[in-house]
Amino acid sequence: MFRSITPLMRSDAARIEDHLIRLCTDDRSLRFTAGLVTDETIRRHVSAIPFERDLVLGFVSQRGSVFGLVHGCVFTAAGRTHVEAAFSVDAAWRGRGLATALMQALTVCIADRVDDKGATVVGSCAARNLPMRAVFGHAGMTLRREDDEFHAHGVVRPSLAMAA
């Protein structure tokens, strides 16, 4: 399963778009932490992904469709590399460890890229999003509650270890 996770590029934009558009209204809200997320919003979001900078990994079926996705948005804050991770898995594929595997793959990718200082990984999810909270928790990230949201925080070092 883990081996079939693949890095995605600009040439994969259409299949990423199709995957995100398949999310139902509620899943879109959870994924984008927003109210109403239209197809057009998703198209604009995907066309704006800087694939050369960010880490985008997915499960791709033999027919070429993306059925699980993690987008690691890379940015610098206080002189330190940060990666904000957001996940989505097709409804039919949930509960089989795909998001957990995507988190592990993202951690490996970050560890391959970072210098000795390491990188901070962050993520957030609605308090009611128990699967997402479990994925962050399994990765060893610290979870902090703020109103109806949980904010996850962890550090990836070149050694691959994630520390709170």
Q: Cβ 126 to ligand COA, closest distance in Å? A: 7
Identify which of residues 87 and 114 has a Cβ nearer to ligand COA in the complex.
Answer: 87
Nearer to ligand COA (CB atom), residue 38 or residue 117: 38
**Comparison of 26 and 115: residue with beta carbon closer to ligand COA:** 26
Closest distance to ligand COA from the beta carbon of 128 (Å)? 10
Other CB atoms within a 10 A radius of the CB of residue 164 amount to: 10
Instruction: Name the residue nearer to ligand COA (CB basis): 152 or 156.
Output: 152
Minimum distance between the CB of residue 133 and ligand COA, rounded to whole angstroms?
Answer: 8
Which is it for strands 149-156 and 80-89: parallel, antiparallel or unpaired?
unpaired
Which residues of this protein are in contact with ligand COA, per CB under 6 A?
Answer: 27, 30-31, 86-89, 94-100, 123, 125, 129-132, 134-135, 138
Please say which residue, 138 or 153, places its beta carbon nearer to ligand COA.
138
HEC-encoded secondary structure of the chain: CHHHEEECCHHHHHHHHHHHHHCCHHHHHHHHCCCCCCHHHHHHHHHCCCCCCCEEEEEECCCCCEEEEEEEEEEEECCEEEEEEEEEECHHHCCCCHHHHHHHHHHHHHHHHCCCCCEEEEEEEECCCHHHHHHHHHCCCEEEEECCEEEEEEEECCCCCEEC
What single-letter amino acid sits at 49?
Answer: I
CB of 103 to ligand COA, least distance (A): 8
**Smallest separation, CB 148 to ligand COA (Å):** 13
